[in-house]
Amino acid sequence: MKKKIIFMIINMNVGGTEKALLNMINEFPKEKYDITILMLEKFGGFLKFVPENVEIKYINDYKRYKDLLKQPLQIMAIKSFKALNFVKGVKLLVLSLVTKLLRDRSLLYSYVLKDYRTEETEYDVAVAYAGPMDFISYFVINKIKAKKKIQWIHFDVTQIGLNSKFVSRVYKDFDKIFVVSEEGKNKLLTMLPKLKAKVETFLNMVSSRSIIEMAKEEDGFKDDFQGIRILTVGRLTKEKGQDLVIPVLAKLKNEGYNVRWYCIGDGGDRREYEKLVEEHNVVNDFIFLGSNPNPYPFMEQCDLYVQPSRHEGYCITLAEAKCFNKPIISTNFTGISEHIIHNNTGIIVNFDEQEMFSAIKNLLDDNRLLKRLEDNLRNSVIKSSVAREMNKIYTIVNG
């Protein structure tokens, strides 16, 4: 009989977490495992890449819950009073007070899901994959029937305002907690040492073969630019750090370098970054390419890949960029040492405008350094083994 596994996420938006999930579920043998993805929202650029054998489910009433989960409860209470729904308004005010006093949103989640029926299917393993997201963790523990339950951590928990009280209470009910980098695991255990017996590293996996194949499927750059192409891939949000590199590009142009910076991704800070591009007079040289589920032709064709993130959990886009053996410069975020060795397979800098500028300038001025980085990356042994990582989840499923 096939084993049943369900992964719960927010949506299939074009992002590292979603791509890591796709890479992993493609490794499960179809004849042995039935895979289900449960989403809060029915959208995302990666939806079309979900294998046909994978069942997709949605939380039908999530639109009704979303405002309660995203908006301050006191604001929702006021809206209820204005709608003359006084009972609901009083309940929300009480919930607001109690959750603030206890620093625990479990009561809110219980209220939101009070009429939600527990999933009828019993799974061998249920995974809160979009982690840490408190609502999904709570849902997997309380609304999905499964023999084993796993929490996945994709981010640096010291950077995202983790509610340690909620986490310590809910995470104890998970059988395993996977963190996508060794450094990220250590940071989680520093905050929550009592979880040590449950916590293990599970490196995000990348299929270099499929990535290289996908790089041949589309054209990539369509302009006729003849200079140095620098590429960055990531959502247009503060944690990805594109605001750092816009002034860096302006400095490079002022120094006479014939460079153009291309940015693949979209997000809530795009308008702010467009204004920043205008302020630094690089409108024609910082190119917003938008979201693209297949950035690999651009990775293959660029001259330099730059990852300017403020913080990451693992950074799958950087792992993918390594498949093309291009020089890489990255900021020093959690997990970077598991990607590249400084001055050997890439350059690591602090999140600092001058350091980033100097690193790019030095690389462009030193062909021997550039060639050495490329050769070392080409000859490096990939740290993560797909088979080794998959065995970690097979052990739990078949346990």
Q: Over the stretch 154-210, which tens digit does the pLDDT of each residue have?
A: 988 887 777 778 888 899 999 999 999 898 899 999 988 999 999 999 988 887 878
Looking at domain 3-61+116-205+387-397, which of 2.40.160.60, 2.30.42.10, 3.40.50.2000, 3.30.1360.120 is its CATH number?
3.40.50.2000
Are 179 and 202 a contacting pair, CB within 8 Å?
Answer: yes
pLDDT of residue 381: 56
Grouping H, G, I as helix, E, B as strand and the rest as coil, residue 387 is helix
- The DSSP 8-state label assigned to residue 143 in this structure reads H
Give which of 212, 191, 262 is closest to 232, Cα–Cα. Answer: 262
Are 383 and 338 a contacting pair, CB within 8 Å?
Answer: yes
Segment 64-73 mean pLDDT: 77
* Pick from 50-64, 236-250, 320-334, 350-364: least confident: 50-64
Which pTM value belongs to this model?
Answer: 0.80
Query: CB-based contacts of 63: which residues, under 8 Å, 6+ apart?
Result: none
- The DSSP 8-state label assigned to residue 382 in this structure reads P
Tell me, what amino acid is at 176?
K
- What's the CATH class of domain 209-379? alpha beta
Residues of the chain with CATH 3.40.50.2000: 3-61+116-205+387-397, 209-379
pLDDT of residue 384: 47
Segment 20-38 mean pLDDT: 93
Per the listing, tokens 């995000």 go with 204
d(CA 313, CA 245): 21
pLDDT of residue 50: 93
Query: CB-based contacts of 268: which residues, under 8 Å, 6+ apart?
Result: 236, 237
Task: Band the pLDDT of 306: cuts 50, 70, 90.
Answer: very high
pLDDT of residue 15: 85
Q: pLDDT tens for residues 78-98?
A: 777 777 777 777 777 777 787
* Pick from 115-124, 258-267, 284-293, 347-356: least confident: 115-124
Q: Which residue has the higher pLDDT, 42 or 140?
A: 140
d(CA 233, CA 243): 13
Question: How far apart are the two ends of the chain, measured CA to CA in Å?
Answer: 15
pLDDT exceeds cutoff 60 at 287: yes
Segment 306-323 mean pLDDT: 90
Q: Which neighbouring-strand residues pair with 286?
A: 261
Q: pLDDT tens for residues 261-284?
A: 999 999 999 999 999 999 999 999
Structure tokens at 170: 């809910």
pLDDT of residue 382: 52
Task: Band the pLDDT of 383: cuts 50, 70, 90.
Answer: very low
Structure tokens at 66: 């979303």
Handedness of CA 273, 270, 275, 239 (dihedral sign): negative
122-128 and 55-58 beta bridge pairing: unpaired
Helices (H), the chain: 16-25, 62-70, 73-82, 86-102, 106-112, 134-143, 164-170, 182-191, 208-214, 242-254, 270-279, 296-301, 316-321, 353-365, 367-379, 386-397
Are 364 and 227 a contacting pair, CB within 8 Å?
Answer: no
Task: Band the pLDDT of 366: cuts 50, 70, 90.
Answer: very high
